[in-house]
Structure 1
């Protein structure tokens, strides 16, 4: 499966995405607002879990590598997980390598995922959770039409420190 825009294409995870996924998952700077950096063993296991075959009735993540169309450079990853099949709700999350941040790639990838979720999967809502201190992520979500629906105090443990998380949602009726 491939989703594409003028500058990027999203392709379902395959072995070519392994190195960047592991690098991002183990990087303290990238993981600062996501979760405690993983060990190589943990990152390998997470990649294997996220690159299994996916169908819309799965309870697992559908992960895409974000690739520059012109050069094929690996830029990051984005995924969706249907969290409530009956209510037609999915969650999304993304990671972009530091050298590709601030260039609009995450916004383009999120736009492609939104279109896939609402137009192809016919879901009703897309949600996202991000650390309250992750300014880049929450500004991107808000710019992409997501509404902040709440704040969960001390919701996530990152590097032995509890952090607050913002909850975001985007309903089909809001696009």
Structure 2
């Protein structure tokens, strides 16, 4: 299945719509990845070429189960059509996918993160039949922690000093959601 053929039109969402990332989304993707507020718990500052080559371009490739790159979807408000961020997942092993999302600062705290996460949960479990979804959050990112828990994830553990960020090793919080816990 090619990326443009992904059944994202099957995602039923109250306020959001989704489409595959494309070349014209570079300004949105770059803006998210250079915004220090957005990237506080995700990445140290990166130059534009690194963002394009290592994070944007791989996500443009066609996606299907088994791919080693992220399925990346642009999230837009239904009423305005304004792109508000990106979401998606990456297959980590047979039957297990890691989910993630990044929202523009002005759209944070409005329930869009939780809504998009619930939509991705349903999409990944019903269309790709994963048995478990996981998420990794740098410790201290309470907003993402609350969002994951509100969407049904359980915090399964902590990997101590697992991620190098801001000049020191940070703990990672691990979250998981089993298919049978969702009803899908």
Interval of TM-score (by shorter of Structure 1 and Structure 2): over 0.9
- State yes or no: 1:48 paired with 2:63: no
Report deviation, 1:56.
1.2
After TM superposition, the runs of 4+ consecutive aligned structure 1 residues lying more than 4 A away are none
Give matches, 1:54-73, under 5 Å.
Answer: 54-73=63-82
Equivalent in the alignment of 1:92? 99
CA distance in 2, matches of 1:132, 1:159: 13
Equivalent in the alignment of 1:169? 176
CA offsets, 1:110-166, max 9 Å, x none?
Answer: 111101111111110000000110000000000000000000111111122211110
Equivalent in the alignment of 1:26? 34
Report deviation, 1:173.
1.3
**Which of 9, 16, 19 is matched with 2:24 structurally?**
16
Report deviation, 1:5.
1.1
Is this contact kept in 2: 1:130–1:138, CA < 8 A?
A: yes
What SS does the aligned partner of 1:23 have? helix
- State yes or no: 1:83 paired with 2:96: no
- State yes or no: 1:148 paired with 2:163: no
Give matches, 1:94-173, under 5 Å.
Answer: 94-173=101-180
CA distance in 1, matches of 2:70, 2:85: 15
CA distance in 2, matches of 1:98, 1:64: 18
- Give structure 2 stretches of 5+ with no counterpart: 1-5
The total of aligned residue pairs comes to: 173
- Give structure 1 stretches of 5+ with no counterpart: none
TM norm structure 1: 0.95
Tell me the C-alpha RMSD between the 2 structures: 1.1
CA distance in 2, matches of 1:121, 1:25: 28
Is this contact kept in 2: 1:80–1:93, CA < 8 A?
A: yes
Report deviation, 1:16.
3.1
TM norm structure 2: 0.90
CA distance in 2, matches of 1:48, 1:15: 8
